[in-house]
Amino acid sequence: MQRLAEFGWRLLPFIAAITIWYLVRWSGLVDQGLLPPPHAVFVEIWRRSLDGGFLLDAWMSVRRVLLGLFFGMLLAVPVGFLIGWNRGVRRFVDPLVNFFRALPPIALIPLVIVYLGIGEVAKVAILFYAAFFAGVIVMYEGMSQINPLFVRVARTLGATDWEIFYKVIIPLTIPHVLTATRVALGVAWATLVASELVAAQNGIGAVIQNASAFFQLTTIYAGIVTIGFFALLMDSVLRAITRNFLNWQDRVAQ
Amino acid sequence: MNASASFQLCEPAASAHSPDVKVQFRDVYKTYGRIEVVHGVSFDINEGDFISLVGPSGCGKTTMMNMLAGFTEPDRGEVLLEGNRVTGPGPDRGVMFQDYGVFPWLTVEQNIRFGLDLRVKRGMSKEEKRETVEKYIALMRLGDFRDAWPKNLSGGMRQRLALARAYAANPHFLLMDEPFGALDAQTRSAMHDLLLGIMQSERKTALLITHSVEEAIYLSNRILVISARPSRVVEEIRVPFSDQRDRELLDTHEFIEMRRHLRDLVMQQYAQQQELR
């Protein structure tokens, strides 16, 4: 019963959003032809999923996000770690990181097309760029917040540098890795759609782009809802991991 | 002020090296930026001493402890540990802090095991490790919480855990930086008795930093009154009571007189510290 109520609470915001959607449509503030009703959008998702093409598009998008995120974090974790811990490295790398972070990844798309073409590698490269710079900043902000007192205490208990690294630093780093991954995931999704809008034969961004050319508003909405669904799903998985691994923390992400 | 005459006042400790002398602060200076925090401090700590540093906050007491712990080094002068200059932290000197001392990512039992796990790698038997963990869990009455996270413990329990963990690593010295400062009065006095109890069964040479004059008298055999910044030793007081102490001591005439004397000294330093700001 309690779990049911919990589930209801989680669903409530979405029900509210859909209700508002209906209300806006019925209120006549927007031309009905310009705002498809939610049920038509869900029917569209269902119909396109049944013929298989839509699922393939969704899978292509998810795969690009996961690959970009994976490689981005693979580099962001050690680099963020180094910047957070070594003042010399920080002084050198910090301005560069801030410069490249300020560039929107979308602005690099023309360059990427020139160097890498419009294949999968090009898209993953853009997502890698986006995920890396989003992740690295969170990582090193987190690392610089680690309380040096714990290192001192470990020393007084007889730990060597290496033991301090894997018994103190690693456990304290994991929360920041997870937070950085969540932030990078959000940025990766935002960038994905942009990169697919520009140049792609498949993927949900491409579906939206094609539908736009034919003024198929329902399909555009179906694509947007699907992206939101997958982004939320992946974020929920990360939060569940956070909860299970970090139940020692005072403030556990809900 | 004739009360002060009844206490034995000591000159700064002579530096003659006797086997009993474990720690020597020799004319130690320390400056952070432009602020001098320690100014020419000299004193000895003997084997089995429980020595308290009492003085205004921000006066450099913690810096002095950090030098002995090996977290920081003096600019001038030296801190000697059994005749050798302190170069870094080590398992011979256990430390207790006011906060954050316990590792939040480890359970109570894992915290106590931390130092022992390291010693197992250096040859301690697993059997001995297990016995040691059980012993201190029992002594500190943490049995019901062995699998709890520190976030679920009260302040008093956290400090019991910190004490258990420090003792489990079997250090020769116990360094405490206002370990009971954040506790309520009842928990604090319970911790005092717990500490006195464990000190009687397993004596450590201890250095305590505290604001509480009463705490200093109740726990230590020697008290150093530290001046307003920069730190100097204003006066050393020997506490004449036996090691077997209980709460009744707090109501004795001698205790009250000593507390008054010490409080006057400390308040003078507080007043000077205020003027510095």
* A253, part of any domain: no
* B6, part of any domain: no
Q: Chain A residues with CB-CB distance to B under 8 A?
A: 147, 149-150, 152-159, 163, 167-168, 171-172, 247-250
User: How many distinct structural domains can be found in chain B?
Assistant: 2
Which residues are within 8 A (CB) of A157 and not within 5 positions of it... i.e. 6 or more apart? B91, B94, B114, B115, B118, B165, B169
- Rounded CA gap, B206 and B49, in Å? 6
CB contact under 8 A, B119 and A158: yes
Residues B71 and B106 in one domain: no
Task: Choose the closest CB to B151 out of A159, A168, A248.
Answer: A248
pLDDT tens string A86-145? 778 888 888 888 888 888 888 888 888 888 887 888 889 999 999 999 999 888 888 888
| Closest approach of B92 to chain A, Cα-based (Å) | 7
* B111, part of any domain: yes
- Rounded CA gap, A153 and B95, in Å? 7
* B15, part of any domain: no
Give B-chain residues touching A157 at CB under 8 angstroms: 91, 94, 114-115, 118, 165, 169
Q: What is the pLDDT of residue B9?
A: 44
Residues A25 and A126 in one domain: no
Render A57-101 in DSSP notation, one character per residue. Answer: HHHHHHHHHHHHHHHHHHHHHHHHHHHHH-HHHHHHHHHHHHHHH
pLDDT tens string A163-183? 998 899 889 888 889 999 999
* A252, part of any domain: no
Q: What is the pLDDT of residue B19?
A: 62
- Rounded CA gap, A228 and A226, in Å? 5
Nearest residue to B206 via CA among B99, B16, B68: B68
Residues B226 and B272 in one domain: yes
CB contact under 8 A, A149 and B100: yes
Which residue range(s) make up the domain with B219? 21-92+172-277
pLDDT tens string A83-94? 877 778 888 888
Residues B163 and B177 in one domain: no
* B269, part of any domain: yes
Residues A19 and A44 in one domain: no
Residues A9 and A95 in one domain: no
- Rounded CA gap, A154 and B178, in Å? 19
Residues A25 and A150 in one domain: no
Residues B158 and B86 in one domain: no
Percent of chain A with pLDDT over 70: 97
Does B190 have pLDDT greater than 60?
yes
Nearest chain A alpha carbon to B147? A248
Render B32-86 in DSSP notation, one character per residue. Answer: ETTEEEEEEEEEEEETT-EEEEE--TTSSHHHHHHHHHTSS--SEEEEEETTEE-
* B4, part of any domain: no
Residues B226 and B116 in one domain: no
pLDDT tens string B198-239? 888 888 899 999 988 989 999 999 999 988 888 888 888 898
| Closest approach of B193 to chain A, Cα-based (Å) | 24
pTM (two decimals)? 0.79
Residues B81 and B179 in one domain: yes
* A250, part of any domain: no
Which of residues B109, B142, B170 is at a domain's end?
A: B170
Q: Is the peptide bond before A36 cis (omega within 30 degrees of 0)?
A: no
pLDDT tens string B117-170? 888 788 888 888 888 888 889 888 888 898 888 888 888 889 889 989 998 888
CATH number at residue A220: 1.10.3720.10
Residues A25 and A55 in one domain: no
* B162, part of any domain: yes
**H-only helix segments in chain B:** 61-69, 108-121, 126-139, 155-168, 185-201, 213-219, 253-276
Residues B53 and B127 in one domain: no
Indicate the SS3 state at residue B162.
helix
Q: What is the largest CA-CA distance in chain A?
A: 73
Of A10-19, A104-113, A124-133, B2-11, which range is least confident?
A: B2-11
Q: A8 pairs with which residues across the strands? A: none
Split at pLDDT 50, 70, 90, the class of A253 is very low
Mean pLDDT score, A64-77: 93
Does A151 have pLDDT greater than 60?
yes
Q: What is the pLDDT of residue B173?
A: 92
Residues A6 and A119 in one domain: no
User: How many distinct structural domains can be found in chain A?
Assistant: 2
- Top pLDDT among A39 and B19 is at A39
| Tokens read off for A209 | 């782009």
Which of residues B144, B170, B196 is at a domain's end?
A: B170
Of B14-23, B54-63, B103-112, B211-220, which range is least confident?
A: B14-23
Residues A163 and A44 in one domain: yes
Split at pLDDT 50, 70, 90, the class of B18 is low
CATH number at residue B87: 3.40.50.300
Residues B236 and B248 in one domain: yes
- Rounded CA gap, A103 and A133, in Å? 10
Which residues are within 8 A (CB) of A167 and not within 5 positions of it... i.e. 6 or more apart? A154, A159, B114
Residues A89 and A115 in one domain: yes
Does A251 have pLDDT greater than 70?
no
Which residue range(s) make up the domain with A178? 36-245
CB contact under 8 A, B165 and A157: yes
CB contact under 8 A, A158 and B150: no
Mean pLDDT score, B23-46: 89
Residues A62 and A14 in one domain: no
Instruction: Report the DSSP pairing between strands B173-177 and B205-210.
Output: parallel
* B2, part of any domain: no
Q: What is the pLDDT of residue B12?
A: 44
- A–B: how many Cβ contacts below 8 A? 61
Split at pLDDT 50, 70, 90, the class of A209 is confident
* A183, part of any domain: yes
Residue with token string 């693979």? A74
Residues A149 and A234 in one domain: yes
Residues B264 and B195 in one domain: yes
Task: Choose the closest CB to A156 out of B94, B119, B151.
Answer: B94
Of A17-26, A181-190, A245-254, B91-100, which range is least confident?
A: A245-254
- pLDDT averaged over every residue in chain B: 85
Residues B48 and B109 in one domain: no
Phi, psi torsion values for B249, nearest 5 degrees: -55, -35
Q: What is the pLDDT of residue B277?
A: 58
Residues B140 and B264 in one domain: no
Which of residues B170, B188, B216 is at a domain's end?
A: B170
Residues B81 and B210 in one domain: yes
Q: What is the pLDDT of residue B17?
A: 52
Residues A27 and A86 in one domain: no
